[in-house]
């Protein structure tokens, strides 16, 4: 099914996000026939280039994009049709000249007229510009009707700045027309987690503190900060990954069943989880968290610079590139169940997964069957592969002494369904064009997440992150965090 005909206007249209994520995702939507024939993509940036140059840039960007390559060859007519949808409007926010008029003229000249045509402004820009762009859109008569705005994360750098941004955006676009993107929510396995929990009967009875010992959520990356030092140094892993992606995953694991798969019902349940997080501040926050920063060293046989040696870095920095923490969801279902969250750059492998670790059996009867840790784990792998695995113990075949052996029950989504899984941005861009905000963050969610994160970041002031070697499993402090209660990180398989 193709999305509604739309003018998708991307502010920051020549930037990293547009080139690496948005255009490739839109091309793949094109390939699958999911863009309406008259949909246009209008890039806005300071660059003084015209449509032809922009199309050239876009063609080069999608040519070697990993998601595009993975999806197989793009037939020439598909690529041509896609490139023809692209336009570029030069517009410097500080010195707009006739930039806004040119944008308006282009949007007014919609193919096939305006009827039933959506308009989406995607702000792939630093968050402190969000309010200003929205005000400018309104002042230029471009924010009316059913036009929508998409805001990239991170939304601000603390609760106060998030509120200011939300107020400024909200003065122009109502909440219904505001789409706050968290691309983790667009990942196939993340949505599958909802299906797994709420379309099947067998998990719900055991989905609580009686049966579950703890939960681990890991998002590990092999890359460093690369060329994003300017942004990253003011952000750090807590604001870049935990405040949004990791807490959103925690919400999906911990939420109560919503009464329907309705945009508000799902988000109502998620926000309740964020509001139930036990506050962490001061000493308590220091005890329940570990922060790290990668040092120089060898990773996969290659020498890599440390965080403070990356391009754009100027000397010492106390920004963390790794965070591990223990959170508690203070309600009946989860009382006493630690949620361990961990994310880091320059780790041994790139993988994101959720591990739900069940408790041990109350009374072991088989030889060699220790009490802890229990072999029963549900491992939901988001990437690189998309699998859901339930680890169990089974009898090892043979007539001798009864021996137990771990054996996983596996649902491999790519093997079970012979279709390509769309990239997160494909899914979310289609949802925006169709006006469906279910997988986007509501204002109260974002603010509740900051409310919990702020005191943790506050507790870190004046402390330095622990150095960790590239290509490993992060700083020792992260292991100590679990070892204190006799637990250990599941390092994937």
3-class secondary-structure state, position 124: coil
Residues 375-434 that bind ligand BG6 (CB under 6 A): none
Q: Which is nearer to ligand BG6, 221 or 326 (CB)?
A: 221
Q: Which is nearer to ligand BG6, 375 or 422 (CB)?
A: 422
Q: Which is nearer to ligand BG6, 14 or 352 (CB)?
A: 352
- All residues at 6 or more sequence positions from 59 whose CB lies less than 8 Å from its CB, including other chains: 79, 83
- Other beta carbons within 10 angstroms of residue 463's beta carbon come to 11
Shortest CB 227 distance to ligand BG6, Å: 12
Total site size for ligand BG6, rule CB under 6 A: 4
Residue 53 annotated as part of some ligand binding site: no
Residue 395 annotated as part of some ligand binding site: no
Both structure tokens of 402: 């009864």
Both structure tokens of 221: 């990356």
Instruction: Choose among 135, 255, 264, 253: nearest CA to 192.
Output: 253
Q: Which is nearer to ligand BG6, 161 or 374 (CB)?
A: 161
Q: Which is nearer to ligand BG6, 294 or 334 (CB)?
A: 294
Shortest CB 387 distance to ligand BG6, Å: 16
Given 87, 88, 229, 245, the catalytic residue: 245
Residue 272 annotated as part of some ligand binding site: no
Whether the Cβ atoms of residue 485 and residue 357 lie closer than 8 Å to each other: no
Residue 451 annotated as part of some ligand binding site: no
φ, ψ of residue 334 in degrees (nearest 5): -115, 10
Q: Is position 240 an interface residue for ligand BG6 (rule: CB under 6 A)?
A: yes
- Other beta carbons within 10 angstroms of residue 140's beta carbon come to 14
Shortest CB 360 distance to ligand BG6, Å: 32
Tell me the C-alpha distance between 473 and 61, whole Å.
32
Residues 200-219 that bind ligand BG6 (CB under 6 A): 219
Instruction: Choose among 136, 48, 147, 128: nearest CA to 100.
Output: 136
Shortest CB 345 distance to ligand BG6, Å: 7
Q: Which is nearer to ligand BG6, 213 or 240 (CB)?
A: 240
Shortest CB 240 distance to ligand BG6, Å: 5
Q: Which is nearer to ligand BG6, 243 or 473 (CB)?
A: 243
Residues 257-316 that bind ligand BG6 (CB under 6 A): none
- Other beta carbons within 10 angstroms of residue 274's beta carbon come to 23
Shortest CB 405 distance to ligand BG6, Å: 33
Sign of the dihedral through C-alpha 134, 135, 140, 141: positive
Residue 46 annotated as part of some ligand binding site: yes
For ligand BG6, which residue has the nearest CB?
240
**Residue from 243, 352, 376, 473 binding ligand BG6 (CB under 6 A):** 352
φ, ψ of residue 165 in degrees (nearest 5): -65, -45
Q: Is 245 an annotated catalytic residue?
A: yes
- Other beta carbons within 10 angstroms of residue 458's beta carbon come to 12
**Residue from 30, 221, 353, 426 binding ligand BG6 (CB under 6 A):** 221
Tell me the C-alpha distance between 286 and 283, whole Å.
5
Neighbour-count burial for 236-253, b at 16+ CB within 10 Å, e otherwise = bbbbbbbbbbbbbbbbbb
Whether the Cβ atoms of residue 219 and residue 248 lie closer than 8 Å to each other: no
Q: What is the DSSP letter of 240?
A: I
Q: Which is nearer to ligand BG6, 39 or 317 (CB)?
A: 317
- All residues at 6 or more sequence positions from 383 whose CB lies less than 8 Å from its CB, including other chains: 187, 189, 350, 351, 352
Shortest CB 457 distance to ligand BG6, Å: 16
- All residues at 6 or more sequence positions from 436 whose CB lies less than 8 Å from its CB, including other chains: 263
Burial class, 279, CB count within 10 angstroms (exposed 0-12 / middle 13-18 / buried 19+): middle
Shortest CB 352 distance to ligand BG6, Å: 6
- Name the strand (E) or helix (H) holding 87: strand 86-90
Catalytic positions: 245
Residues of this chain that interact with ligand BG6 (CB under 6 A) are 219, 221, 240, 352
For the annotated binding site for NADP(+), the residues are: 46, 92-93, 153
For the annotated binding site for substrate, the residues are: 183, 187, 221, 240, 345
For the annotated binding site, the residues are: 46, 92-93, 153, 183, 187, 221, 240, 345
């Amino acid at each position: 099914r193709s999305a509604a005909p739309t003018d998708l206007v991307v502010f920051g249209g020549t930037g990293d996000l547009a080139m690496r994520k948005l255009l490739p995702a839109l091309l793949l939507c094109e390939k699958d026939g999911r863009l309406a024939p008259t949909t246009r993509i209008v890039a806005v940036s300071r660059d003084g280039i015209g449509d032809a140059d922009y199309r050239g840039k876009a063609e080069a960007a999608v040519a070697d994009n990993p998601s595009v390559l993975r999806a197989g060859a793009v037939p020439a007519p598909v690529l041509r049709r896609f490139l023809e949808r692209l336009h570029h409007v030069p517009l410097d926010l500080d010195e707009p000249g006739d930039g806004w008029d040119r944008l308006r003229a282009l949007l007014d000249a919609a193919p096939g007229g305006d009827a039933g045509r959506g308009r989406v402004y995607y702000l792939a820009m630093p968050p402190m510009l969000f309010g200003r762009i929205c005000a400018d859109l309104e002042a230029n008569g471009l924010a009316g009707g059913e036009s929508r705005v998409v805001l990239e994360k991170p939304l601000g750098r603390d609760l106060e700045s998030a509120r200011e941004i939300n107020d400024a955006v909200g003065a122009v676009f109502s909440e219904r027309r505001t789409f706050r993107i968290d691309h983790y929510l667009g990942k196939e396995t993340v949505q599958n987690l909802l299906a797994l929990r709420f379309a099947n009967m067998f998990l719900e009875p055991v989905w609580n503190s009686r049966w579950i010992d703890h939960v681990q959520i890991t998002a590990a990356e092999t890359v460093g900060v690369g060329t994003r030092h300017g942004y990253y140094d003011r952000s750090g892993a807590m604001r870049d990954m935990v405040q949004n992606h990791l807490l959103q995953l925690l919400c999906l694991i911990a939420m109560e069943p919503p009464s329907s798969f309705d945009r508000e019902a799902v988000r109502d349940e998620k926000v309740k989880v964020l509001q139930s997080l036990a506050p962490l501040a001061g000493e308590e926050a220091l005890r329940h968290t570990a922060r790290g920063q990668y040092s120089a060293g060898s990773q996969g046989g290659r020498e890599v610079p440390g965080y403070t040696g990356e391009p754009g870095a100027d000397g010492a920095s106390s920004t963390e590139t790794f965070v591990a923490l223990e959170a508690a969801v203070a309600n009946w279902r989860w009382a006493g169940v630690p949620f361990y969250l961990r994310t880091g750059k320059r780790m041994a492998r790139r993988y994101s997964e959720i591990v739900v670790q069940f408790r041990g059996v109350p009374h072991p009867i088989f030889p060699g069957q220790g009490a802890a840790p229990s072999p029963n784990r549900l491992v939901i792998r988001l990437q690189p592969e998309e699998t859901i695995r339930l680890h169990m113990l089974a009898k090892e075949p043979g007539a001798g002494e009864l021996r137990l052996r771990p054996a996983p029950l596996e649902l491999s989504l790519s093997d079970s369904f012979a279709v390509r899984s769309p990239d997160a941005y494909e899914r979310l861009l289609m949802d925006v064009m169709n006006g469906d905000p279910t997988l986007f963050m509501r204002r109260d969610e974002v603010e509740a997440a900051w409310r919990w994160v702020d005191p943790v970041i506050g507790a870190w002031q004046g402390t330095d992150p622990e150095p960790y070697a590239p290509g490993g499993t992060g700083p020792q402090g992260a292991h100590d965090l679990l070892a204190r209660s006799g637990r250990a990180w599941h390092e994937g398989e």
